[in-house]
Structure 1
Amino acid sequence: MESKKKKFLYSIFTIILVLTIFFSVLYYLYWPTLIATIFSSEGLWIGVVLIICRTLILGIMSFFLYRKWLRQEAIYISDAYFLFGSFFGILTCAKVYDLFYNLVIISGVFNPEFVLLLVKIRFFIIIVNLLPVLYIGLDAILIYINMNKNKEMDKKQFSKLRLRIMFGFALVTALVIVLAPTLNFLNLVFPFITILIYIAIAFMFLFMYKNKRLTQANGLIIGIAFICFIVSNLLRTILININLSYSIFAELIDIGINLFMFIGFISKPKYA
């Protein structure tokens, strides 16, 4: 088991190193434009600072969950702590990318094809980010099936069903992203898809909480947090359309939601 833990640590350090190099090169290549954009827009630097703070908070939460996972006697990548840690870990990378992406969009100096590529990458990251919590949330399907059928579905059957659902979800959303012809099309269709997924995940965790099936985390808090994410995304769109500087408030709200979700990830329900 110790060798397995060491292997994981080496893997995660390698991933962190590769991502650090990648983002360092990315920011280095466009640094003059990014800096000029920050100082050319009044108050934009506050938003940048908030995104950096949120990134650090997410990274700390991811580290805490991974450490909690590693301290268990037996570790599996299907374990809730690993999946929750992965969710925050991917979200940490997403925020580093988002900072670059947002500054590029605000600068307005890049051609539409490049911007469309960046948007597609951003939506790919969103999909990957949702997979860990979707994996856990799909347990609700097993609970529902077993509650409404005389014969229970065994874990092997359910594992196959879960993988099919996740593969189908990833494939359909990937096709939408890849085949999206314009930025407007992607911005119109994809948020609708992600909102539906947020609703589904929220329902899954609330369902598991109601039926007292999730013991490693508080499904009620997690479900409410995902509902809050939906409201936050809608609010962010409204605020940005009113005034770009208002996105600062949206970032603060998201930090609060992330912290609330983290509490759900690390706290056990009363029935556990």
Structure 2
Amino acid sequence: MTPASYTKHYTSAERCQQAVRNYLWLTRHATPIRLPALQAIGFNSLVFEFVEGRHVEPSDLLRLAAHLGDVHGATWLNTLHRARLDAAHVPGQGLELADYCSSRRRALAARHAAGFLPTAADLDAAQALLARTASGPVAFYKDANPRNFLITADSIVTIDVDDLTLAPFGYDLAKLIVTLTMTYGPLPARTVREALDQYNRTAAGHHETLGRTDMGHLTACMRLHDILTAPYVGRGGYQHRASDPQFTDARCGDSG
């Protein structure tokens, strides 16, 4: 028998309330998105509608890329055209979307301390990569990994709204590509390029300036995600780093 609801527990009341604020913001501004109905709010738990579905597989990439472009385009048109990547966005009602670079600079420094960026030169190169991607129209990052979507009979349902930050267009698509690669193995370069085309096409449907993410930008974002997700290899279905030699096809080089 299918359960009617799913309860998610949080480590603190503040984390729970942050998830509620994120949920309400996405519902209002990311209008193509479908989220499970929020049925009840507890002190440190939320009760959601139970959704029957499966997680994302490589064969879903083109469909998901189009969906992400649609969601990011709508959100930019609705509100994020007022935002900047280098400053927090404070839409009100207690919500603050962190800027793109600050938390990621700290995360890259932590990866250096943990040995994932072995030398100071490696850290400097990663920080330069971050600065290089901090341009263009503003979207948001919601950790688009395969487990954070459910494919149902008739829709794509987004789950896990615990963390939101500002991010450039293409950044969440890059996260999906990298985590699919880490989970299932290499993706053909042609498929990645087709996914970017789908993403740009639906984003541009909201405003022509939003469909201009190029392969160089996407690849730079993928490299950042490879570094930032490195500590999670061996957990959550991640079997390999996307930069492992057998996955070089999925990285698509530097062209574009």
Higher relative contact order (CA 8 A, sep 6+): 2
Of structures 1 and 2, the larger Rg is shown by 1
Give TM-score, length-normalised by structure 2. 0.29
Flag the structure with higher helix content: 1
